[in-house]
Structure 1
């Protein structure tokens, strides 16, 4: 496949970035065509526990859904978190083919602690000067990505993140609130994942047919 050949050209860049920043930096190359086995190159995977063949993240699915790559080249310095609760500062670069179609992403995740590089760079220093047309995340934002090792965890984290905004248990959510949650999950691309409808229905304490009905609403 031609897109595979193009993606493979970015594999040396994974090592290059990791060697520059150091062992507190995880670097991954994602194939966004095969979302279930998305990670095709990785360095310092011990940071998140991920490995070759791990799936795309919840944020990755959201970026696919909102087609951010059509307007930007990268998403810079947003918050992320590993399954074990480790906090990181992350950035994603969009890899596009000659037609401008998104085929992959390079993701850089740096441990967010006073001992590591990300906190030693003055804010006025133009670290991202070469990444023109990039979106810069707000420092006040909460965690925007969960670095999970399985699609089940990706769905689970995404659902919990949306439900947490309501500060009540799933049993107490109204039909209108559940519908709003499903719409937000749809906008985040979660229903691109096989089995997501079953998982969401279970978490929201409702039926799969009800989830399909919510999805049919505009």
Structure 2
């Protein structure tokens, strides 16, 4: 099928997008650009190749369906998938239409879940503790959790995060902590400084 100038331009632009996403999401996410105007040789670009396919390989079932039916959803996100060797994946497919409403391309992202599941198992094992133990200990000063919770609440009211607070907002925060008595928590200034990612000197200055 001969491509129109518009379709050629769309495919060229999508190649740049696929390249950028591939570099950003490497190495755990395969990024594939399908040319749906040529379903038998659809794969135009493939980055972080996890599926073992190659340039010029045919379109998937979803790609063929899109090429035949422009009413199929443009964004199909986070659906379960499987690589040829049995590895489980999470996929997202984004269809690209031209000005006539016909599908020209599909940008697909396939995340290999086996790596993350193995990592999650290791982290769960590493972070597990014996909850049946009679010993309970904390290495933090008393009230540290309450102090951080109040900071989180203050930042949430401003629709921001603790580390993104501006100077005037930090001053208002310190006034609130003082009024609530939380500034009297042992090592309060150190806790606030670490939580806001600023120096102790900055916190003392904000508390004046």
TM-score by length of 1: 0.48
| 1:50-100 Cα shifts (integer Å, max 9, x gaps) | 11101001222233444344xx33111111112111111000111111122
How far apart in 2 are the matches of 1:63 and 1:98? 16
| Equivalent residue number for residue 164 of structure 1 | none
| Equivalent residue number for residue 149 of structure 1 | none
Aligned residues: 114
| Alpha-carbon distance, 1:106 to partner | 0.3
Say whether the 8 Å CA contact 2:39–2:63 is kept in structure 1.
no
From 4, 10, 13, the equivalent of 1:6 is 10
How far apart in 2 are the matches of 1:26 and 1:114? 13
From 26, 30, 37, the equivalent of 2:41 is 37
| Equivalent residue number for residue 78 of structure 1 | 79
Kindly report structure 1 stretches of 4+ aligned residues shifted beyond 6 Å: none
| 1:115-161 Cα shifts (integer Å, max 9, x gaps) | 27xx8xxxxxxxxxxxxxxxxxxxxxxxxxxxxxxxxxxxxxxxxxx
How far apart in 2 are the matches of 1:100 and 1:58? 20
- Where does the alignment leave 5 or more consecutive residues of structure 2 unmatched? 121-208
How far apart in 2 are the matches of 1:23 and 1:10? 20
Equivalences for 1:39-58 in 2 at 5 Å? 39-45=43-49, 47-58=50-61
Q: Are residues 114 and 52 of structure 1, via their aligned partners in 2, closer, same or farther at CA, if it must alter by over 3 Å?
A: closer
Equivalences for 1:105-144 in 2 at 5 Å? 105-113=106-114, 115=116
How far apart in 2 are the matches of 1:79 and 1:68? 22
Higher relative contact order (CA closer than 8 Å, sequence separation 6+): 1
How far apart in 1 are the matches of 2:85 and 2:115? 19
CA RMSD of aligned residues (A): 1.9
Three-state SS of the structure 2 residue aligned to 1:89 is: strand
- Where does the alignment leave 5 or more consecutive residues of structure 1 unmatched? 120-218
TM-score by length of 2: 0.50
Three-state SS of the structure 2 residue aligned to 1:54 is: coil
From 20, 26, 45, the equivalent of 2:30 is 26
How far apart in 1 are the matches of 2:42 and 2:115? 31
Q: Which has the larger radius of gyration?
A: 2
User: Is the helix fraction higher in 1 or 2?
Assistant: 2
